[in-house]
Structure 1
Amino acid sequence: MVPLGLAFGAVITQSGLAWWWASAFAALIYAGSFEFLLVGLAAAVAPLGTIALTAFLVNVRHVFYTLSFPLHRVNGRLAKAYSTFALTDEAYALTTNERARSWPGRRILWLQAYMHLYWAGGATAGGLLGSLIPTSVTGLDFALTALFAVLALDAIRERRDDLPTPVLALLSALAARLLLPGQMMPAACVLFTAALLTRHLLTRMRTRRA
């Protein structure tokens, strides 16, 4: 989270925004992938409607996260509200694996709080130090993509028996890239969701026949 936050803060500074925008984005928005996109949208003074639609498309996956995220273990309305706000890809990956099934709500909440602190602290440091990075250095915005790749590889290693899922994801991404290159992300998400639903229905039909 700290190296990723550093990269985000540096991207903020290199885009022409003041360093404190990194702190504000990290503390108040706290949605890594959308924050990287928001830098370009804010720099281009994009309409609020465009920003809202982009935020929905990028973060709609969190709706599916809530189906298995252990929010019921977190006690108190304020604690539940913060845990919902701080639900990130990394927090979901850590709290829904086999080893985390016995974790109490307090541990889940503190894990999310520390991750939020690491992200905000890294972003602030990156924003302050970003001016020291030469403008010729490129690729810092790829840091989040690299993190998602690592999370995906870890998930594949943990669930070796579920190889069709990453294969479907890869095929959905390739099909979206070929058919709708300008809208690759939403198209890939729709194709992947449709593929998962189709596989689920076929599995149920086979189970009933058996």
Structure 2
Amino acid sequence: MHIRSTMAAAPPRPAPELPGRAPSEARAAFRESLSVGLVFVPLGLAFGALVVQSGLDWWWASLSAAVAFGGSFEFLLIGLVVAVTPLASIAVAAFMVNVRHVFYALSFPLHRVSGRLGKAYSTFALCDEAYALTSGKQARSWPGRRVLWTQLLLHLYWTGSATAGALLGALIPEGVTGLDFALTALFTVLALDAVRDLRGELPTPLLALGSALVARVLVPGEMLPVAFALFTAGLLARHLANARRTSHA
């Protein structure tokens, strides 16, 4: 009787993961990332064409897309490489352009990703689009595998399209315009979705606008760094306020 009661009181073991779960999460991630991936294609083609037209070999586009995976910084990097800019200057430019990623860690669901290798890759592949897709209300229930698959697919979209653009760069006329606006349109849509998810909080665009206005009035000669500092302080204050509100709830 004692043995039976002990066995009955023992907590049930978690059910093992089914072998088909990984493909299902991959399919779900594909559906979630497809709209952003379709925007990556013209951007990657334009970037690859720019690499070739700048006098670099085609594989520079593949290497940059796979290793740097910096989007806007990669467009800047091509000009810096062609101009033989010192590495120290390139490092400073990379820091200034990508420092915003530091604040993504405040709410990016890295804790859901399992394994050191998975966490390392998720940290490396954290881009604006991946953060926007995984920080919405609907994405708060995503398992770590879907988060990781989403980042991997975005990485593949960008690398593949950049390589294709470099290989087909000679076929794209130099006078073609408008492809670069896809990036602006993408960020606009993602920003609108983010604003909808911030009900009850101070919207990020208003916080950015207020920081810019204060910097413009107080120190017009150093508006950009002061506005960025104020914006950073505002984001940290909002994060701490949300954390306190959650802890008291």
d(CA) in 1 for partners of 2:103, 2:240? 18
1:135-158 CA-partner distances (Å, limit 9, x unpaired): 223454444333322321222234
Task: Tell me, yes or no, if structure 1 residue 27 matches structure 2 residue 41.
Answer: no
Contact map agreement 2:211 2:231 (CA 8 A) in 1: yes
Aligned twin of 2:143: 104
2:141 aligned counterpart, secondary structure:
coil
Task: Tell me, yes or no, if structure 1 residue 69 matches structure 2 residue 108.
Answer: yes
Task: Tell me, yes or no, if structure 1 residue 59 matches structure 2 residue 98.
Answer: yes
d(CA) in 2 for partners of 1:130, 1:160? 44
In the alignment, which of 182, 186, 193 is matched to residue 154 of structure 1?
193
1:94-122 CA-partner distances (Å, limit 9, x unpaired): 11211112211111111111111111001
Task: Tell me, yes or no, if structure 1 residue 78 matches structure 2 residue 117.
Answer: yes
Contact map agreement 1:32 1:144 (CA 8 A) in 2: no
* Matching of residues 1-210 of structure 1 within 5 Å: 1-138=40-177, 140-159=179-198, 161-162=200-201, 164-172=203-211, 179=220, 184=224, 186=225, 188-196=227-235
**Structure 2 residues without counterparts, runs of 5 or longer:** 1-39, 243-249
d(CA) in 1 for partners of 2:181, 2:120? 30
1:29-68 CA-partner distances (Å, limit 9, x unpaired): 1111211111111121111111101111111111111111
> Quick one: which amino acid aligns to residue 155 of structure 2?
H
d(CA) in 2 for partners of 1:124, 1:46? 24
d(CA) in 2 for partners of 1:136, 1:87? 33
> Quick one: which amino acid aligns to residue 26 of structure 1?
A
d(CA) in 1 for partners of 2:214, 2:234? 12
1:101 aligned counterpart, secondary structure:
helix
> Quick one: which amino acid aligns to residue 92 of structure 2?
L
Aligned twin of 1:207: none
Q: TM-score, normalised by structure 2?
A: 0.69
d(CA) in 2 for partners of 1:78, 1:164? 35
Higher helix proportion, which one? Answer: 1
d(CA) in 2 for partners of 1:115, 1:202? 32
**Structure 1 residues without counterparts, runs of 5 or longer:** 204-210
**Cα 1:64/1:150, change in 2 over 3 Å:** same
**Cα 1:164/1:116, change in 2 over 3 Å:** closer
